[in-house]
Amino acid sequence: MDKTPHFRNVVLLWLLAMAIMLPIVIWVLGPGLPPGNATVQSHGQVVDNIVLLATSTPVALAVLVYFGYALWAFRERNPEVVLDGPAIRGNTSVQFWWLVTTTVMVLFLAAFGTIRLLADGAGGGQGPNPISIPPHATGDPPLQVQVIAQQWEFTYRYPSYGGVETRQLDLPANTLVEFHVTSLDVIHSFWAYQLGVKADANPGEDNVAYVNTLRPLSFVVRCAELCGLWHGYMFNSGRVLPKAQFVSWITQQRQQYAPATKNLPPYSKTYFPQPLRRGG
């Protein structure tokens, strides 16, 4: 009978591997995880990703350590005699701790995810009646920006600036932005990766998402819902600008698009444009 304390050896090796890998995962790899730290929400997603990675690292290490240990410790030293080991028929202790450990992990992740979502919405679409409004240091009302998706371009309407609609998304820095995402035709998805915001654009629906901008940067907006022929080309760019520069930009946009603005319908959370009924 083999008296080698295999279980103790595996546990010790696992603890050693965790002592080495967890600091690397949390403090070396973690800060570089996507989507970056451009906004409060994207920073929150980096933290979430670090927690998820740190939670899954012990599991992955347990598998790898056991795999390596088994290869080494249970190798057949006498190839002439190949015998199978005794059959294992149930182990109450292992089963109990397996259930306890996995249940605790799943419940922890569910609670963690719920708390994080309720804290500030995590940059996700919350539907027409959001319940997670992020706190904002300045106390100013959020800047409303309507994201209008259509086959195949995003356009952006600023109700607090005369309802002007633009073809580029520019935002002021250090501002709480309240996106109202909707569509004029099929289902699209507004995804500004660097901002940490992603919200479905549904026709006839107002999907609200929040972002606290921080410093100036350039970002890309993409459609993340397969929406037809030119879905792959449905992207445009945006910028987070210092506030004075943003005011200058939006003033220039109001002048440039003054003729079209007169043709726009009054600002509304959703639109049912005429060709929608005529097209078919």
Partner 1 sequence: MPSSRFGALRTGYITPGGQAMSSYAKRLVGVTVVAVVFCVAFGLYIGLYLINVPGSAAAVATASGDQLYLATVPAAELSDPHNTWVSYYAVNSTSGDWRHVTTYVLPANTLVHVTIFEYDSSTGLRNPLFSQPTGTVGPVLVDGKPTPVVNPTTPAHSFAIPQIGLSVPLEGVSSNAKNLCANAPCALSNAHFTVSFTFRTPSKGLYRWQCFVPCAAGFIQGNGGPMQTVGYMGGFIKVV
Q: Find the shortest distance in angstroms from Cβ 273 to partner 1.
A: 5
Could you check whether the bond before residue 35 is cis, i.e. omega within 30 degrees of 0?
Answer: yes
Residues 6+ positions from 173 with CB-CB distance below 8 Å: 213, 214, 215, 216, 240, 241, 242, 243, 246
Q: Find the shortest distance in angstroms from Cβ 149 to partner 1.
A: 10
The β-bridge partners of 210 are 178
Contact 102, 91 (CB under 8 A): no
Q: Judged by CB under 8 A, does residue 48 bind partner 1?
A: no
Cα dihedral 32, 35, 37, 40 in deg (nearest 10): -140
Q: Judged by CB under 8 A, does residue 243 bind partner 1?
A: no
- Contact pick of 155, 174, 245, 270 for partner 1 (by CB under 8 A): 155
Give whichever of 37 and 261 is closer to partner 1, judged by the CB atom.
261
Give whichever of 89 and 262 is closer to partner 1, judged by the CB atom.
262
Residues 6+ positions from 202 with CB-CB distance below 8 Å: 182, 183, 187
Site string for partner 1, 169-188 (x = CB under 8 A): ---------------xxx--
- Contact pick of 264, 267, 268, 269 for partner 1 (by CB under 8 A): 264
Contact 191, 113 (CB under 8 A): no
Q: Find the shortest distance in angstroms from Cβ 15 to partner 1.
A: 54
Give whichever of 74 and 230 is closer to partner 1, judged by the CB atom.
230
Q: Judged by CB under 8 A, does residue 191 bind partner 1?
A: no
Q: Judged by CB under 8 A, does residue 249 bind partner 1?
A: no
Q: Which residues bind partner 1 (CB under 8 A)?
A: 148, 150-153, 155, 165, 167, 184-186, 228-230, 233, 236, 257, 259-260, 262-265, 273-276, 278-280
